Amino acid sequence: MINNLRQTDLDSIDLRILAALQQNGRLSNVQLAEKVNLSESACLRRVRLLEEQQVIDRYVMLINQGAIGKPGTVFVQVTLEGQQQDKLQKFEGEIDKVEEVLECYLMSGASDYLLRIIVRDNDDYLRIHSHLTGLPGVQRVQSSFALKTVLKKTELPLNLVTANR
């Protein structure tokens, strides 16, 4: 679940640390310190502070979804029968159990949720679609298959962040 955190004041060194770790989360502290021109102890202290402040959310490895047999991406709009808090909570509790759902957003507008789902093929999506339509409170499911990935980024644009310290 994504939290709405208070924006943390970041200086230019913090931004350099974040940029380096976004490009390569496997950097050792020694390598990172060298890259951002800090002592190893100062660098480690800053990274730990960024983790404590939840600026660094977690460290992950990205896997090529085609390499694991799930080359397809489907964007799914889900509309519930109502938007009462209990209906939203039930749906959110169940959607988390569907492994192929990589992202789920509560939306404004015509539909209640937008999902990003990875699939092997159409038959695989039919199985998932069947499951989605059976979830609590689901009224309508509208699916759009991605034909081609044009752009997919994992790095947040730190150049837009103003260094405050």
Per the listing, tokens 């208070």 go with 6
Cβ neighbours of residue 42 closer than 8 Å, sequence gap 6 or more: 33
Beta-bridge partner residues of 117 = 74, 101
Spatial distance between the Cα atoms of 157 and 18, rounded to a whole number of angstroms: 10
Percent of the chain topping pLDDT 70: 92
pLDDT in tens, 90-120: 999 999 999 999 999 999 999 999 999 999 9
Q: Can you tell me whether residue 12 is helix, strand or coil?
A: helix
Interval 67-71 mean pLDDT: 97
Give the N- to C-terminal CA distance of the chain in Å, as an integer. 29
Amino acid identity, residue 97?
Answer: K
Residue 17 — φ and ψ, nearest 5°? -60, -50
pLDDT, one tens digit per residue, over 4-18 is: 555 678 999 999 999
Domains and CATH numbers, the chain: 12-61 (1.10.10.10), 65-145 (3.30.70.920)
Q: Collect all residues with Cβ–Cβ distance below 8 Å to 9 and sequence separation of at least 6.
A: 164, 165
